[in-house]
Structure 1
């Protein structure tokens, strides 16, 4: 994420060692690689999340609490990816849009980032309540409660994002934070620690706790589909961890740079290249959210096939698509809870829908 705001891999200026070390080769690599990567993530993320928005919007007034969370997760990812073309342009020709645009685009970037993390966490909690605490959650998992929680999540995302763009200024065609002297290194260290804790550690702990409880409950169910359900849950957790853990490790190491943890030019260059790689992996996760949290649901797949067949009649001759030729569709959200793995609390046998 820090790469999106500076020409180096750090969000804030470092000590004199960074300026002594010649990183022209790294900057040239970043000027070629990052714009291409940003635009690829923008295209994929925009397409996938817009499809989720359109599908949920078609449900009209029939939205349930899961629809609400998926809708806002897609909005968060859209805010995130919308900012990427601006950072791509900045890498190529510098920042030319002024200080106000600098702060506005940065706010979209960070609000989308934190919002996405928070809604993924909320979805995990919602799944935990729907499966592990099914009886208790019957009255609490309502659309009204979902809207209240959504407002709280957005307020929290805005609040924790403010430190990352409040001091940004336009300096020599670049978007840099101009910090008061009394803050010194305290402010950037605080921002990095906030990213590590609120943006990763706390969410990943909650997600792991929720899904461990869900797996335990599913394994106790007498249902043939529970194996696939458990596999899907493990995919959600493992993908989230693999995509975001390396990047957060690099953010932590970046914090140590303020305390002269890296002392040689080779170490600094190695860190910069590693930041490029881990940032690439982490940012790509927003493209996978539609696949993980919506597209894998069978009713959602049927909905997409229905739309494709409606507006592209020639697809009727496609074998895999022809089996979805239906005239009407019920709410795909009925089976989206727990990412295609929901426990039908009204069935006494606790059957799992995938």
Structure 2
């Protein structure tokens, strides 16, 4: 392609173009998540709060996880409207930033809470008697507060500088969290996105490590003769459920998010519009996958409160 042809057909604005399927598919997909996720998370929160069993560390994490998902799902209608209008944000710039903040608060609150759940489950398997005799509610409240405080603080600059995230295109559409052109804004955004990637790596590392240790413990422990094979299978499924959420929801997004960020902020320069559009398409699909966590988290709760709890009860008895 000649330079003149490139200049006419591949302007910087075209770097943000994506396939037409994005708007229809995203509108339908987020509508489905809203219809399913809202009642599912409300029901999960009611069950968690009204449960007759006492408050435990794991329940504190699950309540926090459900509240995060519920807040996230509640704002889906704004994003559905955005895609229905083919990428035109009609609300205020503050609402755009609020939605974006909730998106990342939910994502990284979930990542870190699942890491804590994984670690708590490992402690329950490796030291069942000690854990059974000591309900670490104070630790649960403290770590939950730390996670929420951290994610909210990182989101405050987005809310404060809310006008930076609304950009008008040539077609007069107002883009929300798209079409960054100001170089100063780009320099501010890159460190934030790098920290997001680092946060995922830390959380994923914790989950992988604890999952391997839990599966190893469940496989080699010979002291449990009364525990049925069915309960052990359920315990394995709980561990795998956390891994599935990470691998399905968060891994694809973070694999493509860093190169996408470098392309969008023009730190990685490419004049191939087809390549950039393809990366943008893959990024949009990964965003949709990441949102599935809002309906997978309540399902995870079923594993935490049935099979794994029964397994731990028998494991605790066998160690006494």
Regarding TM over 0.5, the answer is: yes
Q: Is 1:294 equivalent to 2:301 in the alignment? A: yes
After superposition, the Cα gap between the structure-2 partners of 1:157 and 1:29, relative to the gap in structure 1 and judged at 3 Å, is same
- Report what 2:201 is aligned to: 201
Report if aligned partners of 2:105, 2:155 keep a CA contact under 8 Å in 1: yes
Cα deviations across residues 202-258 of structure 1 (Å, max 9, x unaligned)?
111001111111112111223443344224423431442133211111101113312
CA distance in 2, matches of 1:156, 1:148: 12
Partner of residue 310, structure 1: none
Correspondence for 1:85 among 71, 77, 86: 77
Q: How does the TM-score come out when normalised to structure 1?
A: 0.73
Distance 1:184 1:228, change over 3 A: closer
Partner of 1:348: 318
Q: How far is the alpha carbon of 1:347 from its aligned partner?
A: 0.5
Paired residues of 1:31 and 1:91 also in contact (CA < 8 A)? yes
The answer to whether the Cα contact below 8 Å between 1:168 and 1:175 also exists between their aligned partners in 2 is no
Match of 1:13 in 2: none
C-alpha distance in 1, partners of 2:146/2:216?
Answer: 30
Q: CA 1:154/1:139 → structure 2, altered by over 3 Å: closer, same or farther?
A: farther
Aligned to 2:219: 219
Report the count of equivalent residues: 294
**Cα distance in 1 for residues equivalent to 2:24 and 2:285:** 14
Instruction: Provide the residue aligned with 1:161 in structure 2.
Output: 155
Helix, strand or coil: the match of 2:316? coil
Point out 4+ residue stretches in structure 1 off by more than 4 angstroms: 176-182, 338-341
Question: Residues 22, 89 of structure 1: CA spacing in aligned structure 2 closer, same or farther, 3 A cutoff?
Answer: closer
Q: Distance in 1 between matches of 2:184 and 2:35?
A: 38
Distance 1:236 1:82 in 2: 24
One of 52, 55, 60 as aligned partner of 1:63:
55
Aligned to 2:190: 189
- Deviation of the 1:55 alpha carbon: 0.6
- Within the candidate set 239, 242, 251, 1:245 is matched to 251
> Quick one: distance in 1 between partners of 2:179 and 2:311?
48
Aligned-residue Cα RMSD (Å) equals: 3.0
Q: Distance in 2 between matches of 1:147 and 1:231?
A: 27
Q: Tell me the SS of whatever aligns to 2:221.
A: coil
Instruction: Point out where structure 2 has 5 or more consecutive residues left out of the alignment.
Output: 1-9, 169-173
Task: Give the corresponding residue for 1:329.
Answer: none
What is the TM-score normalised by the length of structure 2? 0.80
**Counting helix residues as a fraction of each chain, which structure ranks higher?**
2
Listed as ranges, the gaps of 5+ residues in structure 1 are 1-15, 298-332
Q: Which residue, out of 13, 16, 20, partners 1:19?
A: 13
SS in 1 for 2:195: helix
Distance in 2 (CA, whole Å) between partners of 1:138 and 1:295 is: 20
CA-CA distance at 1:64 after TM superposition: 1.9
Q: Does 1:270 align with 2:278?
A: yes
Higher relative contact order (CA 8 A, sep 6+): 2
Q: Which moved more, 1:264-273 or 1:233-242?
A: 233-242
Does the alignment pair 1:31 with 2:23? yes
**Residue among 255, 259, 264 paired with 2:267:** 259
